[in-house]
Copies of this chain bind each other. A is one copy, B any other.
Amino acid sequence: MKKILNTPEGYVNDMLAGIYAAHADMVRPVGDNLRCYQTAHKTPGKVAIITGGGSGHLPLFLGYVGKGILDGCAVGGVFQSPSAEEIYEITKAVDNGAGVLYLFGNYSGDILNFEMAGELADMDGIKTCILVGNDDVASAAKGSESVRRGVAGIFFMYKCAGAKADEMASLEDVKALAEKVGSRVRTMGFALSPCIIPEVGHPNFTVGEDQISIGMGIHGEPGIRVAPMLTAQEIAKEALDAILLDMPFGPSEQAAVLINGLGSTPLDELYILYNEVAKILKQRGIDVFKVWVGEFATSMEMAGASVSVLRLDDEIKALLSKPAHTPFYSNPQLED
């Protein structure tokens, strides 16, 4: 294992200390606990949105805390759930009096801890509700959406829910909107190499030298199959075949697309992949409203990419276009 760090045990807290040092104007810890991460900008009366999950996925999860998007994040160890106590501490810190939406990926440890935190908050009179992202089409068959894993597509839920909360919508309305977005996003991922958890020191799995793991999860969960390496064109086709079969588009419905790098895949390759995705969407008569290409949900130095497609309506388009700004992500003003 060759990583830029001081000690494997210090990996998460040293990273957090660096983030707070770099971006003190935008984010801060709750009290002394670096793993309780909150925005520096509170808006009285606004629904707050908290996410959380294991470290090792930057900019997921904490990178979406900032203006116009999320309010707090509970930061776990690498690939580990944050604790219920941490989520509860953040809940008290970011609540603006309008309730708190817990929005995170569909992983059992996270669900347990967010549920416990919600019970603690309830005793303080803070209303919370839970919504999970489950966009990974490769992780369970159609009809079993509730057990699908959450991956990069949660970005769209964050962005739209944050914009909706900024409109001073109620907790119920923010949740309903995020739920709608979640029901309209699908992701398919492809891994070319594993990553190394610092405290483990070696890869937890391997991908053969000339192989691609289709549908692998962001913690190395098994995918649909392992195949000989595919071309960009073949990867795009495989992703869109799965996504569009699972979620057909109606006539004249537009898409937003996210091409996400898993960590060590160069931007060059992500754009080569998008070029093929764009060709296929055009062939299928689906107009692309907006595209994001880059690293949005990684697995440290894992190589590979995922393709997410969001089926738009007018409300979602408007919310996607609203400005947002965090240390890791900026959506400029429309007039820029």
Which A residues are closer than 8 A to B by beta carbons? 2-6, 11-12, 14-19, 21-23, 55-56, 58-59, 67, 192-193, 209-210, 212, 229, 231-233, 235, 263-276, 278, 291, 293-295, 298, 300-301, 303, 305, 323, 325, 328, 330, 332-333, 336
- Name the distance in Å between A322's Cβ and chain B's nearest Cβ: 12
Whether the pair A269, B231 counts as a contact (CB closer than 8 A) is: no
Q: Bound complex: CA of A328 vs CA of B292, how far in Å?
A: 10
Contact B266 A300 (CB under 8 A): yes
- CB of A193, distance to nearest CB on chain B (Å): 8
**Nearest Cβ on chain B to A283's Cβ, whole angstroms:** 13
**Of A67, A229, A267, A305, most B-chain CB atoms within 10 Å:** A267
The contact of A5 among B6, B18, B269, B295, by CB within 8 Å, is B269
A selection of 22 A-B contacts at a CB cut-off of 8 Å is A2-B209, A3-B266, A3-B269, A4-B232, A4-B269, A4-B270, A6-B272, A14-B272, A16-B271, A18-B271, A18-B272, A18-B274, A18-B275, A18-B278, A21-B275, A21-B278, A23-B291, A56-B266, A58-B267, A264-B303, A267-B295, A294-B328
**Bound complex: CA of A64 vs CA of B323, how far in Å?**
20
Cα A235 to Cα B231 in complex, Å, equals 38
11 more A-B contacts (CB under 8 A) besides A11-B272, A14-B271, A21-B274? A2-B193, A2-B212, A4-B232, A4-B272, A5-B231, A6-B272, A18-B273, A18-B293, A21-B278, A22-B271, A264-B301
